[in-house]
């Protein structure tokens, strides 16, 4: 586990209002990819604070707000992944199938978690996914797949030490 990951987990445990600090997000070599990651973090932070509110005082209004935010996040993630896949295809990136595979799995999990939430209204399960599992996934994905991909897109080279 990287130092960064430990840092984020400590933040979560301390209950900081902001789940992820944008200034500490790992950066890749493509600015347009970083911009999309920053937008993603904003959506996740907003969703996370809605979940905390719902846990303390559940209401129908909050439930609807959570669903709206989750759907916005899902839509944003579809576009986020599609734009990376388009750039990879354009440049014939050698690890396209691997990178796309991680995207596809992540979208399936995201969809499954949402369906479970709407059926069961299990706030603890949703919080665990949004505030822990997806953060772990996102940071790991940015530090591996996205980092290598961005390096390739920018320079046409692959950092051998990353794979």
Q: Using CB under 5 A, list all residues that contact Fe ion.
A: 84, 146
At closest approach, how far in Å is the CB of 100 from Fe ion?
A: 9
Nearest distance from C-beta of residue 142 to Fe ion, angstroms: 6
| Nearer to Fe ion among residue 51 and residue 146 (C-beta) | 146
CA distance 82 to 37: 13
* Residue showing the smallest CB distance to Fe ion in the complex: 146
Q: How many other C-beta atoms can be found within 10 angstroms of the C-beta atom of residue 153? A: 19
- If the CB atoms of residues 51 and 84 are measured against Fe ion, the closer one turns out to be 84
In the complex, what is the shortest distance from the CB of residue 84 to Fe ion, in angstroms, rounded to a whole number? 5
Q: Which is nearer to Fe ion, 50 or 134 (CB)?
A: 134
With 0-12 CB in 10 A as exposed, 13-18 as middle and 19+ as buried, what is 130?
buried
CB of 2 to Fe ion, least distance (A): 17
Alpha-carbon distance of 160 to 145, in angstroms, equals 13
Rounded-to-integer distance, Cα 122 and Cα 48, Å: 14
Nearer to Fe ion, 40 or 117 (CB): 40
Q: How far apart are the C-alpha atoms of 94 and 100, rounded to whole Å?
A: 11
């Amino acid at each position: 586990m990287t130092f960064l990951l430990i840092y984020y987990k400590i933040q979560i445990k301390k209950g900081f209002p902001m789940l992820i600090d944008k200034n500490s997000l790992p950066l890749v070599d493509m600015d347009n990819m970083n911009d999309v990651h920053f937008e993603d973090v904003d959506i996740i932070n907003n969703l996370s604070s809605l979940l905390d509110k719902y846990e303390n005082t559940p209401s129908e209004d909050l439930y609807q707000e959570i669903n709206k935010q989750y759907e916005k996040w899902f839509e944003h993630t579809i576009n986020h992944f599609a734009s990376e896949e388009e750039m990879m295809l354009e440049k014939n990136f050698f690890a396209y199938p691997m990178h796309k595979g991680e995207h596809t799995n992540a979208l399936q999990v995201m969809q499954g978690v949402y369906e479970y939430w709407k059926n069961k209204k299990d706030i603890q399960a949703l919080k665990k996914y949004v505030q822990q599992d997806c953060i772990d996934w996102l940071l790991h994905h940015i530090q591996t797949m996205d980092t290598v991909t961005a390096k390739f897109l920018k320079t046409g080279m692959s950092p051998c030490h990353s794979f």
